[in-house]
Amino acid sequence: MKKYFIKMNVDVFGPYEETTLNAMFKNKQIDSETLVKRLGNSDFLPLSHFIKSTVTPKKVKLQPVPTVALPTTQDGAQEFPYQVNTNATVSTLYTARRGAEEAILSLTDSFSSIKYYKLIFIPFILMISFFAFKTIYIKQAFNTTKPNFIKYASFKKLTETLKDSYNKKEHKWKFLLSNDLKQSWIASSLPGNHIAHVSFQSIAQKVLSHKPIHAETQVKLYSNTQEIKEWTFNKSDKFAPGLYKATITLLDRELSVFDKLFLPEFKAKNIYETKILIGSPSKKAFIKDLKKFYKKTVKANFTEIQDIEMKYKTLNNIASQITSYIDNLDFSKKSAKKKIKEKFVKKYHNEFGSFFTAFVVENKQIYKNKKLPENRSKLSPFTKHYSKLTNIAEQIGQISVDTIDKFDSKSLDKNSFSKLKTQYKKVMKVTDKQLKSLKKLQRL
């Protein structure tokens, strides 16, 4: 319901509702010349501007208005107000002492005038605003920074790949390394700040280095790309061109309130593994460089490789002979048990025992000499094989001793030697693997 103020002299009274002003008018407490202002308007106007009537009360001079049939009360008095004359204008006469109060009441009155059916549009407006803001936030959540060492075309391709994974809610990692391998960056399709542990392990015979390379670091991504400023090397002092196994472990992920509210749910991988070729423009170019590297290595150490290869073959042959000899033993006669043991012991000591002793001593000495400080500069990548040869010879010797002890067991048959034969075959697999590795190098 509309409300009004009354001004008498310099005082302002109100606000009054229409019914109250109507009663005051009937009781002649106010007349048509009394200054009145409706809540929300700025000007005080004579009451006659708010009244249109065919009945003119006594002692009240009203301004002429169009004749309109209006309802009246039983005693013929005017109902107040019947209609507001919106065309009425007058200069501002009121300097409000209740400005703040009027402003609040005006606002309340304005809201009360809104039709209820219009309120149903407010939820739709809020919903549209929410989804519009969410769309903008999601698009801005993916942010990449271009490293200075990579070409724009290459970085654009990488960004498109990551953004495609981002749109599909797939968690992927990428790495960027400069040609000199001194600068490195990590990239992720996962939105939000996150901390990760990164580990690089060189793949054997797939890197231009004879030393295994293992590097690790911890990095915090504030966007989808972040520079790796420092690596910790465990077995080397720098990266070498080649193929590496990269392992990324997600340690923590920090999401703001808006991130949790608007960003889509990603299946973040706690451990992500991939292979990466670094320090080479392409796989084809790397294979070419790898062949040159090992060809040079084999050529420089050809005599040593032949010596190591021959020793592996010797150990493999001895293990094969012992296994074959055990298979041909005749256990059918229990009375021959003592003779069988004596025959095996005699053969082992005469043919293999003395050889193993000399073999172990020789290779241990070679390995020791090559590791001396004065020989470090001439140390070849094949020095480690002398240590492996020593270990294999000692294993065969220990298995042979266990074989001799087995002859003293109560039950003596071919099945009782099955575990020992399995151990011999395991040793032979190790020697076969090393021989294949050396052959592969020679083919390169």
Tens of pLDDT, residues 196-209? 999 999 998 899 98
b/e sequence 25-52, b meaning 16+ C-beta within 10 Å: bbeeebbbebbbbbbebeebbbbbbbbb
Q: How confident is the model at residue 70 (pLDDT cuts 50, 70, 90)?
A: very low
Closest CA to 441 of 327, 287, 298, 239: 298
- Asked if 253 and 321 sit in the same domain, the reply is no
- Asked if 266 and 370 sit in the same domain, the reply is no
Q: How confident is the model at residue 239 (pLDDT cuts 50, 70, 90)?
A: very high
Q: What would the mean pLDDT of 347-376 be, rounded to a whole number?
A: 84
For residue 296, being part of any structural domain is answered with no
Q: What would the mean pLDDT of 54-83 be, rounded to a whole number?
A: 43
Last residue of a domain, one of 282, 309, 332: 282
- Asked if 102 and 171 sit in the same domain, the reply is no
Specify the DSSP class assigned to residue 72.
B
Closest CA to 308 of 272, 346, 266, 362: 362
What are the tens digits of pLDDT across the range 397-443? Answer: 888 888 878 776 666 666 767 788 888 888 889 999 888 888 877 77
- Asked if 309 and 271 sit in the same domain, the reply is no
Q: What would the mean pLDDT of 137-151 be, rounded to a whole number?
A: 81
Last residue of a domain, one of 65, 94, 113: 113
What element of type H or E holds 16? Answer: strand 11-17
Residue 64 has pLDDT above 80, yes or no: no
Q: How confident is the model at residue 322 (pLDDT cuts 50, 70, 90)?
A: confident
Q: Whole-prediction pTM value? A: 0.55
For residue 422, being part of any structural domain is answered with yes
Residue 102 has pLDDT above 90, yes or no: no
What's the CA gap between 55 and 53, in Å, rounded?
Answer: 5
- Asked if 262 and 311 sit in the same domain, the reply is no
What are the tens digits of pLDDT across the range 270-310? Answer: 899 999 999 988 899 999 999 899 888 888 888 888 899 99
* Low-confidence winner among 63-77, 108-122, 385-399 (lowest mean pLDDT): 63-77
Residue 90 has pLDDT above 70, yes or no: no
- Asked if 87 and 221 sit in the same domain, the reply is no
What's the CA gap between 118 and 317, in Å, rounded?
Answer: 96
- Asked if 201 and 309 sit in the same domain, the reply is no
For residue 349, being part of any structural domain is answered with yes
Q: What would the mean pLDDT of 72-87 be, rounded to a whole number?
A: 43
For residue 186, being part of any structural domain is answered with yes
For residue 176, being part of any structural domain is answered with yes
What's the CA gap between 293 and 291, in Å, rounded?
Answer: 5
Write the CATH number for 198. 2.60.40
With vertex at residue 442, the alpha carbon angle to CA 287 and CA 304, rounded to the nearest 5 degrees, is: 130
Instruction: Identify the residue with better confidence: 16 or 77.
Output: 16
Chain-centre distance for alpha carbon 19: 69
- What distances in angstroms separate CA 126 from CA 142, 262, 303, 319, one per listed residue? 25, 15, 82, 82
Q: What's the mean pLDDT when you consider all of the chain?
A: 79
- Asked if 277 and 161 sit in the same domain, the reply is yes
What's the CA gap between 264 and 169, in Å, rounded?
Answer: 7
Q: What would the mean pLDDT of 78-107 be, rounded to a whole number?
A: 45
- Asked if 433 and 308 sit in the same domain, the reply is yes
Q: What would the mean pLDDT of 49-62 be, rounded to a whole number?
A: 52
For residue 131, being part of any structural domain is answered with no
Q: For residues 399 and 427, is the Cβ–Cβ distance under 8 A?
A: yes
- Asked if 410 and 305 sit in the same domain, the reply is yes
Q: How many domains does the chain have?
A: 3
DSSP letters spanning 227-265: EE---EESS-SS--SEEEEEEEEEEEEE--HHHHHHSPP
For residue 118, being part of any structural domain is answered with no
Q: How confident is the model at residue 86 (pLDDT cuts 50, 70, 90)?
A: very low
- Asked if 251 and 307 sit in the same domain, the reply is no
pLDDT at 100: 54
For residue 364, being part of any structural domain is answered with yes
Last residue of a domain, one of 53, 86, 113: 113
- Asked if 277 and 313 sit in the same domain, the reply is no
* Domain span at 33: 3-113
Q: How confident is the model at residue 377 (pLDDT cuts 50, 70, 90)?
A: low
